[in-house]
Amino acid sequence: MLKIYNTLTRSKQEFIPKQLGKVGMYVCGMTVYDYCHIGHARVMVVFDTVARYLRHSGYQLTYVRNITDIDDKIIQRANENGEAFTALTERFIEAMHEDERALSVLQPDIEPKATQSIADIVKMISTLIEREFAYVGSNGDVFYAVNRFDGYGKLSGKNIEDLQAGERVNVDTAKRDPLDFVLWKMAKPGEPYWDSPWGQGRPGWHIECSAMSTCCLGNHFDIHGGGMDLQFPHHENEIAQSEGATGEPFVNYWMHNGFVRVNEEKMSKSLGNFFTVREVLKQYRPEVIRFFILSSHYRSPLNYSDEQLDEAGVALTRLYTALRGVEIIDAAIDADYCQRFEQAMDDDFNTPVALAVLFDLARELNKAEEKSVLAATLKRLAAILGILQDDPDSFLKGGAAPDGMSETEIEQLIDARKVAKTGKDWARADQIRDQLKAQGIVLEDVAGGNTIWRRES
């Protein structure tokens, strides 16, 4: 049975969907004012893997991941660039999709945008005002009244009295309480706006996700995910808004992935250790990055370093090497390995243990005389993690640096080495092997006098 660590209960719980055989999952997506960074890549890959496994387990999944395409940062960046905010967001949405495709992240079933959900947002805010969970402040903004919601703090474990005590004297006299947060912002001159009962303005960030998730999945659904940094205040505020507006429980299982650290330090622009997916892809192959992300449990910190990524490349090469030259047939897969893999994934999506099962499988595959069923099993189970779907030979020969040797040049040298060996010119044969090794090309002499090669990871 699948067990998920639920942030709301701080425990692993057996997963029981609201509706038998069906799952609704919402994940907080990107705010599209810049290129995706490695932290975004982790969210993409983690919840893509969760979605893949839920489908493998037989659930009919509706996976929703939103796009925040209006907020202060977007407006500021568009103004700095002297362009319409829509031109900015469209460009970075396309860039995000390119990064996803590179990392073998499948598209969510529904990808709502905040700017296309204004009517639903306005409707939810109106309901909150009617139910006295929200009010219009003295500056015309609409605020959520935190002290009206009894359960505030239940996700993050924060106590409302402690939060109030920790607040400095608030200079914003427009709201009644320092903890209250904005639902609708009145437009400033030159800013994009939409009409509302409270005047022209735009939504606050928190209300966007409450409106989009409930409109796509209903008032009460199964799984809500996102990065650990969103737990408070974003997800806490989503609960307050959604349950305040609907009077129903909002989400049954809350999943949060851990932070990405860079060389054991928190990733941040101020520390100069902030990497976009595009920058990392210039150094490492996409599948190596995906493998690296899956090599840590999703709730653990992920330490990004060249050493860790190099190790991921070597490990992935071992798996592809086991599949090289083996005919993959459409056969029933090995039940024992499948069971071990599923036990790992059923334990709160434990991808490091699932990967360990794949390595055990590869070791047996290397020794086995009859390889077809084991190879089919390795490829099918790996597909659930979104890896090992390339042609093994293409993967092992690919990944050259722009200034690296071409396949034609390598094959010519291998042919020259074969001629040297036939003529018993061992010195020349060794010289060619060393020349190729210096270029990161590893040779392996196999039966029949043939030689196969791969690039070092």
Distance between CA 309 and CA 296 in Å, rounded? 12
Determine the residue type at 28.
C
Please name which of 98, 7, 100, 95 lies closest in space to residue 45, comparing C-alpha atoms: 100
3-state secondary structure 108-159: CCECCEHHHCHHHHHHHHHHHHHCCCEEECCCCCEEECHHHCCCCCCCCCCC
Nearest Cα to 299, choosing from 12, 2, 84?
A: 12
Pair 254, 224: CB distance under 8 Å: yes
Distance of CA 55 to the CA centre of its chain: 17
Q: Report the distance separating Cα 157 and Cα 152, nearest Å.
A: 9
Residue 236 marked ligand-binding:
no
Helix or strand or coil: residue 453?
strand
Q: Is 28 among the annotated ligand-binding positions?
A: yes
295 touches 312 (CB < 8 A): yes
224 carries a ligand binding annotation: no
Q: Locate 7 and state its tokens.
A: 């942030």
234 is in an annotated binding site: yes
Residue position matching structure tokens 């989400």: 251
| Per-residue burial over 141-170, b = 16 or more CB atoms within 10 Å of its CB, e = otherwise | bbbbbbebbeebbebbebebeebeeeeeee
Answer for the pair 287, 395: CB distance below 8 angstroms, yes or no: yes
Residue 287 annotated as binding site: no
- Calpha distance 52→173 (Å, rounded): 48
Question: Which sign, positive or negative, has the C-alpha torsion 316, 322, 328, 329?
Answer: negative
Q: Tokens 């990064």 label which residue?
A: 99
Q: Report the binding-site residues.
A: 28, 209, 234, 238, 269
Binding-site residues for Zn(2+): 28, 209, 234, 238
Q: Which residues are annotated as a binding site for ATP?
A: 269
